[in-house]
């Protein structure tokens, strides 16, 4: 097994202390560590952090509570605890199901929701060990997936020429619920949280730390659902996933796909197609078609198969809200 190169390790006591260390130089923060330690072990990035700042030693960031009509989840809450929480399961079904379908039981026991939404995008050129492909996402000049094997890549085009997809299973649920993400500096709408950054995946500054996820209560009578397509039911990252939050009589609808684009992809076309309509097979199918109307396969059509899957995921997520 590859061992890690040396680094220093600091147990932070407060968020401010962690932020000041992160701002001081080549440092990375570690919570569950399941994504970070993998990227470090296989040295997929051109840089290697000199210091790891442990966030798990900060007290008071592990909670699930409902306050004033808002679900508040501490950033250090393990995915498994979210998936098993009765409160989340009954009122925020799509989020619980998204957390439950993430990776493996072990990784859900280790991984936190803060880390899940901040994980790096997935692309096998980007993630190949020892930085073999110094691609655009790492500050290089080429996207190797564009002309290479891109069967798992974006179907809604590239952002700054990068085709890697965001693999988070909780992210689409957070976008569909119109959640807000609280950091030590600001409150960010879930829809604006992800971006094409190098090499990150979020709008966060180097010394910015997610502290809380705030999910407003869905409108009365609404239902939510999460659908995921992956090769294996457990372990695998999504090929396509989709979360839907649909109000009573479909007066409101929010739909978000993930693993189809650089960032979670909110499908306003599908929302418009289902709003105010009866939730049935035909209407759900039409919404699915609307969601992928602007989807395009990449040259070579290796990722063409993802388009009908995305359509089916949207359709099934809507039908599950009936």
Partner 1 sequence: MGVPALGSLPSTAEATPRGTELDSGTARTVPPSEDLKTAGDMRTIELTVNGGKYRVSIEPHWSLRQLLRDQLGFTSPKDWCGGLGACGSCTVIMNGRPVLSCLTLACECDGAVIETAEGIAKAKHPIIQAYINNNAFQCGYCTPGFVCTAKALLDRNKNPTEGDIRDALGGNLCRCGTYQRHPPAVLEAARILNRKA
CB of 63 to partner 1, least distance (A): 17
State yes or no: residue 106 binds partner 1 (CB under 8 A).
Answer: yes
Going residue by residue from 59 to 88, which x/- string records binding to partner 1, judged by CB under 8 A?
-------------------x-x--------
Of the candidates 101, 117, 46, which has an alpha carbon nearest to the alpha carbon of residue 263? 117
The reply on whether position 290 binds partner 1 by CB under 8 A is: no
Shortest reach from residue 106's CB to partner 1, in Å: 5
Q: For the window 224-243, what string marks contact with partner 1 as x by the rule CB under 8 A?
A: ---------xxx--------
Q: DSSP of 38-101, one letter per residue?
A: HHHHTT-SS---SEEEESTTSTT---EEEETTEEEEETT-BHHHHHH-HHHHHHSHHHHHHHHT
Verify binding: residue 41, partner 1, rule CB under 8 A: yes
Asked if 52 touches partner 1 (CB under 8 A), the answer is yes
Q: At closest approach, how far in Å is the CB of 285 from partner 1?
A: 30
Judged by CB under 8 A, does residue 128 bind partner 1? no
Contact status, residue 169 vs residue 264, Cβ threshold 8 Å: no
Query: Using the rule CB under 8 A, is 89 a contact of partner 1?
Result: no
> Nearest 5 degrees, angle CA 177-CA 179-CA 185?
175
Contact yes or no for 173/94 (Cβ under 8 A) = yes
- Pairing of the two strands 51-54 and 27-30: parallel
Minimum distance from residue 112 beta carbon to partner 1 (Å) = 13
Instruction: Give the strands of the sheet with 187-189, arranged side by side.
Output: 64-67, 70-74, 210-216, 180-183, 187-189
Among 89, 107, 229, 275, indicate the residue that binds partner 1 (CB under 8 A). 107
Radius of gyration of the chain from its Cα atoms, rounded to whole angstroms: 19
Q: Does 90 bind partner 1 (CB under 8 A)?
A: no
By CB under 8 A, residue 123 contacts partner 1: no
Residue 32 or 172 with smaller CB distance to partner 1 = 32
Distances (CA, A) of 283 to 193, 269, 273: 31, 13, 8
> Which of 276, 310, 281, 305 shows the shortest CA–CA distance to 293?
310
Q: Does 37 contact partner 1 by CB under 8 A?
A: yes
Binding site for partner 1 (CB under 8 A): 1-9, 11, 30, 33-34, 37-38, 41-42, 52, 54, 56, 78, 80, 103-107, 109-110, 233-235
């Amino acid at each position: 097994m590859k061992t890690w190169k040396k680094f220093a390790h600091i147990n932070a006591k407060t968020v401010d202390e962690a932020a000041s260390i992160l701002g001081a130089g080549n440092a990375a923060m570690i919570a569950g560590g399941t994504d970070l330690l993998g990227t470090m072990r296989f040295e997929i990035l051109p840089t290697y952090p000199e210091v790891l700042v442990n966030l798990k030693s900060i007290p008071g960031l592990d909670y699930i509570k409902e306050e004033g009509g808002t679900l508040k989840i501490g950033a250090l809450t393990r995915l498994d605890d979210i998936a098993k929480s009765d409160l989340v399961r009954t009122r925020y079904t799509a989020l619980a199901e998204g957390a439950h379908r993430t990776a493996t039981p072990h990784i859900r026991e280790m991984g936190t929701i803060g880390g899940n939404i901040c994980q790096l995008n997935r692309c096998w050129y980007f993630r190949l060990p020892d930085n073999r492909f110094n691609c655009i996402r790492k500050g290089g000049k080429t996207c190797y997936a564009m002309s290479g094997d891109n069967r798992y890549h974006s179907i809604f085009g590239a952002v700054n020429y990068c085709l890697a997809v965001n693999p988070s299973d909780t992210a689409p649920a957070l976008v569909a619920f119109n959640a807000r993400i609280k950091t030590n500096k600001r409150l960010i709408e879930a829809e604006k949280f992800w971006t094409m950054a190098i090499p990150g995946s979020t709008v966060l500054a180097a010394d910015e730390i997610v502290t809380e996820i705030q999910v407003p209560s869905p409108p009365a009578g609404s239902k939510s659902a999460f659908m995921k397509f992956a090769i294996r039911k457990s372990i695998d990252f999504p090929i396509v996933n989709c979360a839907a939050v649909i109000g009573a009589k479909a007066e409101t609808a929010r739909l978000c796909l993930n693993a189809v684009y650089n960032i979670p992809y909110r499908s306003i076309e599908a929302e418009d197609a289902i709003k105010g309509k009866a939730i049935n097979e035909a209407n759900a199918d039409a919404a699915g078609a609307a969601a992928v109307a602007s989807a395009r396969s990449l040259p070579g059509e290796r990722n063409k198969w993802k388009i009908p899957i995305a359509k089916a995921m949207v359709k099934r997520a809507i039908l599950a809200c009936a």
